[in-house]
Structure formats: C-alpha cells, structure tokens
Amino acid sequence: MALPLTTDPTPLNTDRHGVVRVGGTRVTLHSVVEAFLQGATAEEIALRYDVLSLPDVYATIAYYLRHRDDIDAYLAGEATASEEARAKYASTLEVDVLRERLLARHSG
C-alpha cells in the first residue's frame, strides 16, 4: 500500500491587527517560536499553551525552521513596532509626571 503524501496547511493565521496566531487560538507565532528558541520541546509548548494541539505546535516549529529568515524578520519588525508604540504611548502620558503625582497622592 502506498503512503499518501500530502502537504498539510500550516496552522498559522493572521488576525485583523496583522499578528500571526497559531491554530485558530490567541497564541501568537512569537510565543511558540520564543519558547522553542529557549529550548522547550513541542510537547512542553503544547503543555504550556494547552489550547494548542501537539500537531499544530510541531507544524509551527517545522514552518519556522523552513522559513527562519522570513519569520525572524517578521518578529524583528513586530518588536520594533511594539517598542515604537510603547515609546509613543509613554511620551503622550508623560509617565514620570504621572508616577510622581501618584506617589505624592499615595504618600500624602
């Protein structure tokens, strides 16, 4: 009997904000890749994010390994955008001024 060799679709989807998520869940590609790069096995990742199926975790890791440069560039862009948003948000709130006001209110 011949083994049917097919290409399974990746379990990755992009949400309306442009964030890549795994298996129709809220778990991000970034979370799975980061755990993998920190040495977690697919089984450990599936336990950590119990909404993910083990096959989806393996498929995500395989996709990362096959498209490492593209995904690393995506993650770097995501990190840059997050940092820019954080800096913009912090500057509009004048965090240091707010912190001083809250501390003064709490200690007085």
Note the pLDDT tens digit of each residue in 48-83: 999 999 999 999 999 999 999 999 999 999 888 888
Let me know if residue 34 belongs to a domain.
Answer: yes
- Which stretches within 9-67 are classed as H helix? 29-37, 42-48, 54-66
User: What is the average pLDDT across 91-101?
Assistant: 72
For residue 19, the tally of other CB atoms under 10 A from its CB is 13
Let me know if residue 107 belongs to a domain.
Answer: no
Q: pLDDT tens digits, residue range 25-34?
A: 999 999 999 9
Domain that holds residue 17: 12-66
The CATH number linked to 58 is 1.10.10.10
Domain total in the chain = 1
Query: Could you tell me if 18 and 28 are in contact, meaning their C-beta atoms sit under 8 angstroms apart?
Result: no
DSSP per-residue string spanning 61-104: HHHHHHSHHHHHHHHHHHHHHHHHHHHHHHHHHTHHHHHHHHHH
Let me know if residue 20 belongs to a domain.
Answer: yes
Let me know if residue 97 belongs to a domain.
Answer: no
Could you tell me the pTM of the whole model?
Answer: 0.76
Higher-pLDDT residue of 73, 95: 73
Let me know if residue 82 belongs to a domain.
Answer: no
Let me know if residue 3 belongs to a domain.
Answer: no
